[in-house]
Amino acid sequence: MPQSIMQQLNTYRSGPDEQGHFGIYGGRFVAETLMPLILEVEQAYNAAKVDPAFKAELRHYLTHYVGRPSPLYHAERLTANLGGAKIYFKRDELNHTGAHKINNCIGQILLARRMGKRRIIAETGAGQHGVATATVCALFDLPCTIYMGETDIERQKPNVFRMKLLGAEVKPVKSGSRTLKDAMNEALRDWVTNVEDTFYIIGTAAGPHPYPAMVRDFQSVIGEEVREQMIAAEGRLPDSLVACIGGGSNAIGLFYPFLDEPSVKMVAVEAAGHGIETGAHAASLTGGRPGVLHGNRTYLLQDDDGQITEGHSISAGLDYPGIGPEHSWLHDVGRVEYISATDNEALDAFQMCSRMEGIIPALEPAHALAGVIRIAPSLPKDHLLVMNLCGRGDKDIFTVAEALGVQI
């Protein structure tokens, strides 16, 4: 089976198999109406990824539109303060639109154009993926519909307005719990209804095959740059990598190029919300179990009956009851360590980063930083640690103000 094949070849990078499986995870759990289209996307992606013209076009937009490569920055004050590992930030918050999401959106919209699709849909939770999708749709003049839960629309008004400014239609989702998972359900319902002309840009490394692999590949530019930049800066590979994880696209983008480097340790930080023990969290690996949702088998937050439960996190971007299937596999085989940080730990890290490095991080990477704060002090000073600062925090200032009891 796939897992044993990977172990035989001594690589963690050969997944998924032809059926889209990472070990027992992944797959294509979608309605028959979508299956022919999913196969079409897979075929188109397989052709595009080896086409020099596609790669050149992608490279062009990443360089001149997104602003890549993003810097690898030595966070000196933070390093001195924590007194352990030498901490670097991968500055993906400096990308156009302020997060790593755009790396994937550029890739997928170029694929959609290759496939002759004339309409784009996407789901969004915090609004970052929605903004990135609306941005690339404006760039390529394609009509764009973004599904967003009514609850999230209320919580993320600035991003809703951004999407509208960019020309997207934001459709409020009133079904279910009115958050990200319901937005994804609604986007899938739209796709099933408009199969002929529509391309669905999924925002994280989850969903039916080939999405988890495709999103990973588009986000792997993060880790590939880190490898080059770290060798230029320190003459060797990093010792550890740290990233936050909701669906897990920024984490897999950072980790994937290093999976077969045994010396590189990887830590992903899930959102523990009010604490795993309270049940109000979004830590699918720590507090969930394997199940099937949104086209893939993966760890899910669910009750005894297999009903999906709500994730909670102060970060709307981590507030999803599932996780990308490759992470589920990496968790089970033990290649990546998955830990969690609470809302309060993330809030502390958010403030620390703002004051100590002059960078207001998004609440998502604030979780990664909370992990760094926990593990860095006990590491030796020559230990090279890279944290993915995958988004900037402008969108979160209202949430943080409210959490801190500040009127703005």
Partner 1 sequence: MSAAAVQSGVHEGFEAGQAARAADSGRLAAKFGALKQEGRGGLVTFVSAGDPDYATSLKLIQGLPAAGADVIEIGMPFTDPMADGPSIQASSLRALKSGMSLRRTIQLVQEFRATDATTPVILMGYYNPIYSYGVERFLTDAKAAGVDGLIVVDLPPEEDVELCVPALNAGVNFIRLATPTTDDKRMPTVLQNTSGFVYYVSVAGITGAGSATEDAISFAVERLRRHTDLPVAVGFGITTPDAAAAVARLADAAVVGSAIVNRIAANLDENGLASAGLVDDVLAFVRTLADGVRAARG
Site residues (CB under 8 A) for partner 1? 18-19, 27-37, 39, 42-43, 175-176, 181-182, 185, 188-189, 192-193, 195-196, 290-295, 297, 300, 302, 304-308
For the bound state, the minimum distance from the C-beta of residue 305 to partner 1, rounded and expressed in Å, comes to 4
Please give the sequence-ordered ranges of beta strands (E in DSSP) within 72-204, or none if there are none: 72-74, 86-90, 119-124, 144-149, 169-173, 198-200
For the bound state, the minimum distance from the C-beta of residue 205 to partner 1, rounded and expressed in Å, comes to 19
Nearer to partner 1, 7 or 193 (CB): 193
Which residues, other chains included, contact 110 with Cβ-Cβ below 8 Å and sequence gap of 6+? 48, 54, 57, 58, 61
For the bound state, the minimum distance from the C-beta of residue 182 to partner 1, rounded and expressed in Å, comes to 8
- Give CA–CA dist 242/147, Å, rounded: 30
- Give CA–CA dist 305/374, Å, rounded: 36
For the bound state, the minimum distance from the C-beta of residue 28 to partner 1, rounded and expressed in Å, comes to 5
Nearer to partner 1, 206 or 264 (CB): 206
Q: C-alpha angle 354/358/359, rounded to 5°?
A: 65
Nearer to partner 1, 4 or 307 (CB): 307
The first and second tokens of residue 140, run together, are 């390529």
Whether 401 and 408 have beta carbons less than 8 Å apart is answered as: yes
Backbone φ and ψ of 117, nearest 5°: -75, 145
For the bound state, the minimum distance from the C-beta of residue 94 to partner 1, rounded and expressed in Å, comes to 36
Nearer to partner 1, 11 or 43 (CB): 43
For the bound state, the minimum distance from the C-beta of residue 312 to partner 1, rounded and expressed in Å, comes to 16
- Give CA–CA dist 333/14, Å, rounded: 14
Nearer to partner 1, 45 or 258 (CB): 45
For the bound state, the minimum distance from the C-beta of residue 365 to partner 1, rounded and expressed in Å, comes to 28
Whether 103 and 62 have beta carbons less than 8 Å apart is answered as: yes
Tell me the residue length of the chain.
Answer: 408
Nearer to partner 1, 36 or 279 (CB): 36
For residue 267, list its beta bridge partners.
242, 337
Neighbours of 40 (CB within 10 A): 12
For the bound state, the minimum distance from the C-beta of residue 23 to partner 1, rounded and expressed in Å, comes to 15
Could you give the count of Cα atoms lying within 13 Å of 73 in the half-sphere of its Cβ? Answer: 19
For the bound state, the minimum distance from the C-beta of residue 329 to partner 1, rounded and expressed in Å, comes to 17
Nearer to partner 1, 69 or 311 (CB): 311
- Give CA–CA dist 357/72, Å, rounded: 14
For residue 362, list its beta bridge partners.
none
Nearer to partner 1, 38 or 72 (CB): 38
Q: Which of 387, 390, 406 is nearest to 398 (CA)?
A: 406
Residue 377 DSSP symbol: G
Nearer to partner 1, 19 or 278 (CB): 19
